[in-house]
Amino acid sequence: MTKLSVNINKIATLRNARGGNLPDLLRTALDCERFGADGITVHPRPDERHVRYQDVLDLQPVLKTEFNIEGYPSDKFMALVMQVKPAQVTLVPDPPGVLTSNAGWDTVKYEHFLADVISGFKSAGIRTSVFIDPDENLILRAAKTGTDRVELYTEAYAREFSIDPAKAVQPFHKAAQTAFDCGLGLNAGHDLNLINLNFFYRHVPHLLEVSIGHALICDALYYGLENTIQMYLRLLK
């Protein structure tokens, strides 16, 4: 079964907007686990505008499911990951100040850079994933970096889904098969939601994990967090 990792960045954004500790990020993460989530994802950015580096340190000893830390492999980020030793680190090519992840890695240009970074994480027993567009050549080159998995950047699928679902999912189906043939595990994330998730799940083979944050937290405002997580889980069966 495909695992659901809940990205809690938006909970931190709401907390930071007012100061204090409402909503409580740690309690929310533990509630997500209690309500059925298979993992927790965070993306600590350099400006700490949502999840802070201290949040990551605080979460590590209390989480019971898989902990996934996303981010650009700066020296500070890499030191944090090596200290926390999560189940998985997802490398994204975000420049400082970007609003949200908006592109996958150019694994042709950055193959050797990624290989060096990944080697260090794997030596510490941390599973690695590379955020990537559904491009066959990029996936083939990602395999050469030594990464364990790739995470398909699904914004294009979400954008085109309402127009032509079959056409929207086609490059992701092909990318999934390429990743499998290369021996890579497959994750996916970005703009997946209650409307488009099940179609993606049914048409993209070998999908191990989806990471969903913004849409899930927005849905929770209407349906409640426990019910929302269960709704997403039902779409992955």
> pLDDT by residue (tens digit) across 25-68?
999 999 999 999 999 999 999 999 999 999 999 999 999 999 99
CATH number at residue 54: 3.20.20.70
Mean pLDDT, the chain, rounded, equals 96
Q: Supply the pLDDT for residue 126.
A: 98
Name the residue range of residue 127's domain.
Answer: 3-234
Annotated catalytic residue within 33, 50, 151, 190: 190
Which three-class secondary structure state does DSSP give residue 109?
coil
Task: Provide the domain count of the chain.
Answer: 1
Q: Supply the pLDDT for residue 101.
A: 59
Annotated catalytic residue within 33, 43, 151, 209: 43
Q: What are the beta bridge partners of residue 165?
A: none
* H or E segment and range at residue 141: helix 136-143
Give the β-pairing of 185-189 and 88-91: unpaired
Q: Supply the pLDDT for residue 103.
A: 80
Task: State yes or no: is 70 an active-site residue.
Answer: yes
Q: Supply the pLDDT for residue 94.
A: 79
How does pLDDT run across 192-218, given as a tens digit for each residue?
A: 999 999 999 999 999 999 999 999 999
Cα gap 126→56, rounded to integer Å? 15
How does pLDDT run across 114-135, given as a tens digit for each residue?
A: 999 999 999 999 999 999 999 9
Q: Supply the pLDDT for residue 214.
A: 97
Annotated catalytic residue within 33, 70, 151, 209: 70
Task: State yes or no: is 214 an active-site residue.
Answer: no
Region of 226 on the Ramachandran plot (φ > 0 left; ψ -120 to 50 alpha; else beta): alpha
Q: Supply the pLDDT for residue 100.
A: 56
Residue type for position 129 = S
Cα gap 180→170, rounded to integer Å? 16
Which three-class secondary structure state does DSSP give residue 152?
strand
Q: Looking at the predicted structure, is the pLDDT value of residue 97 above 80?
A: no
